[in-house]
């Protein structure tokens, strides 16, 4: 690990950081706080540090001012703030350019993890600053789960799909709740998120993938979730362009990006569909859902979104609504790839906030959901380059023609 610089007068904290950095540490007094890189050099820092730790005794305002200057003039240094702080201080730190927050009482293994993570991030930013970025092979899969109608079980399918993919790619799968007004991903996964979609599309998170990762909520399965907005009013402020930026960032960091959308084809859904490698279309077995699915398939064809791999899921298939699977297939003109029968196990898992695929199950619905996971994970088409004209633009043109 490259050199770590620590500003503190607390011997106990300095001792733990010293051990965590394997002795590769320079400790400086917290007062006066250096105003910028030049003052760090004057204090005895002879080479750019990979990690600068602001100790718990560093004045917050002066420490954040230094973090801001380093973020602009020395992006190859990761700034870590050691402080037990509330959300307001945490957000201010992230906006100032602090990349990680560490508890002053953290033990040596936890400190070591933060220092190593900071050193890797600093090295990556240094490589980007040294020359033009090399073309990155597009391998991420952006899987958009959509439905023309509400009540089809779309969120249940999305959460189980994400949990299933996380089983093969832990820490490399993220689920985004793009139902900006009434998203249910948090309750479906029994999560209490500290941050949500609106935090991810604004401020430092929208410009820095490292900060973006800090607003994600981890799940016990190794999945990361970006939950919906706190209120419908807050969700209304999220734009399609912000969604495009967000999903592009996540696709650069995760192998699987699963997107749960609102019913219909709103601007946010169209922005997601522009980047989709896979589209999972979910329909119930009632006549309105099937008609809606037929119309949506036609519209997707009109918008030239046929390059994405398409997976048709029929939910609640038990004949109670007077339609058979064959009836639905004849209406939409496509075979159903996954058929989910009504299942008490699914209903119980949804109410408990524990996806069916999170635990072993012999339920028929679980087998079908695993089949969907296999289809999505097996298909190998990489993310397509940006299209000349986005789905949102083509949708506006289609409406204008009509």
The pLDDT value given to residue 198: 87
pLDDT of residue 54: 92
What pLDDT, on the 0 to 100 scale, is given for residue 104? 92
pLDDT given at position 388? 44
For 220-283, give the DSSP string.
TTS-EEEPPPSSHHHHHT--HHHHHHHHHHHHHH-SEEEEEE-SS--HHHHHHHHH-SEEEEEE
- Residue 141, CB half-sphere, CA atoms under 13 Å: how many? 26
The pTM (predicted TM-score) of the whole model is 0.64
Separation of alpha carbons 43 and 38, rounded Å? 9
Strand partners, 76: none
Q: Which residues of the chain fall below pLDDT 50?
A: 1, 131-138, 380-389, 396, 398-402
Q: What is the b/e burial string over 152-167, where b = at least 16 CB atoms within 10 angstroms of the residue's CB?
A: bbbbbbbbbbbbbbbb
Place of tokens 């918008």: 303
Strand partners, 78: 51
Nearest residue to 160 (alpha-carbon basis) of 388, 374, 316: 374
Domains, in order of start, for the chain: 4-130 (3.40.50.2300), 141-401 (3.40.50.300)
Write down the pLDDT at residue 255. Answer: 94
65 — alpha (psi -120 to 50), left (phi > 0) or beta? Answer: alpha
Q: What is the pLDDT of residues 160-187, one digit of tens each?
A: 999 999 998 888 999 999 987 788 899 8
Angle at 340 between CA 336 and CA 341, to 5 degrees: 125
d(CA 52, CA 28): 11
Residues 6+ away with beta carbon under 8 Å from 162 = 173, 174, 175, 223, 225, 256, 258
Q: Give the per-residue pLDDT at 36.
A: 78
């Amino acid at each position: 690990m490259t050199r770590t610089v620590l500003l503190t007068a607390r011997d106990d904290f300095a001792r733990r950081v010293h051990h965590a950095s394997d002795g590769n540490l320079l400790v400086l007094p917290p007062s006066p706080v250096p105003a910028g890189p030049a003052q760090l050099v004057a204090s005895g820092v002879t080479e750019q540090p990979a990690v600068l730790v602001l100790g718990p005794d560093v004045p917050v305002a002066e420490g954040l001012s230094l973090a801001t200057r380093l973020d602009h003039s020395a992006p190859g240094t990761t700034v870590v703030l050691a402080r037990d702080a509330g959300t307001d201080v945490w957000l201010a730190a992230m906006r100032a350019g602090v990349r990680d927050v560490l508890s002053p009482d953290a033990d040596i293994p936890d400190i070591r993890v933060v220092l190593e993570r900071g050193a890797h991030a600093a090295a990556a930013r240094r490589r980007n600053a040294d020359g033009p970025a090399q073309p990155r092979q597009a391998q991420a899969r952006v899987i958009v789960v959509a439905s023309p109608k509400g009540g089809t079980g779309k969120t249940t399918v999305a959460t189980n799909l994400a949990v299933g993919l996380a089983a093969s790619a832990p820490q490399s799968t993220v689920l985004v709740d793009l139902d900006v007004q009434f998203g249910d991903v948090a309750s479906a996964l029994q999560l209490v998120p500290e941050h949500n979609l609106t935090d991810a599309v604004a401020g430092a998170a929208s410009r820095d993938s490292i900060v973006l990762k800090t607003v994600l909520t981890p799940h016990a399965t190794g999945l990361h979730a970006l939950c919906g907005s706190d209120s419908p009013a807050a969700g209304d402020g999220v734009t399609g362009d912000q969604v495009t930026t967000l999903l592009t960032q996540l696709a650069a960091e995760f192998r699987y990006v699963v997107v749960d959308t609102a019913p219909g084809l709103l601007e946010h859904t169209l922005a997601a569909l522009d980047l989709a490698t896979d589209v999972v279309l979910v329909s119930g077995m009632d006549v309105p859902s099937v008609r809606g699915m037929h119309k949506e398939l036609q519209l997707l064809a009109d918008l030239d979104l046929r390059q994405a791999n398409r997976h048709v899921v029929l939910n609640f298939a038990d004949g109670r609504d007077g339609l058979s699977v064959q009836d639905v297939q004849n209406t939409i003109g496509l075979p159903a790839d996954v058929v989910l029968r009504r299942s008490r196990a699914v209903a119980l898992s949804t109410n408990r906030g524990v996806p069916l695929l999170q635990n072993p199950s012999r339920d028929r619905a679980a087998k079908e959901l695993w089949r969907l996971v296999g289809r999505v994970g097996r298909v190998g088409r990489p993310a397509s380059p940006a299209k000349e004209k986005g789905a949102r633009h083509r949708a506006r043109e289609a409406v204008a023609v009509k």
